[in-house]
Amino acid sequence: MAMATKLYEMGKLSSGMAAQIAGLERIEFLLQLSQYGVLLIDLDEEELHTDFDNA
């Protein structure tokens, strides 16, 4: 799980591929990210403003 999480955090793997490597369903993988200190949504301020503007 730790290796898959790190590769996901680095952007090397999609959440689906990382989950597969970790032997988990994608939703389980995403829910466990916080246990490793990885944010589920990692937007900078500009991206956040853009998302709000486009909502």
pTM of the model: 0.75
With a CB cutoff of 8 Å and minimum separation 6, the contacts of 30 are 15, 19, 40
**pLDDT (tens digit, 0 to 9) for every residue of the chain, 55 residues total?**
999 999 999 999 999 999 999 999 999 999 999 999 998 777 778 888 888 888 8
Q: Three-state SS for 37?
A: coil
pLDDT at 40: 79
Q: Three-state SS for 40?
A: coil
With a CB cutoff of 8 Å and minimum separation 6, the contacts of 19 are 4, 25, 26, 28, 29, 30
pLDDT at 31: 94
With a CB cutoff of 8 Å and minimum separation 6, the contacts of 14 are 8
pLDDT at 47: 83
pLDDT at 28: 96
Query: Where do the domains of the chain lie?
Result: 2-54
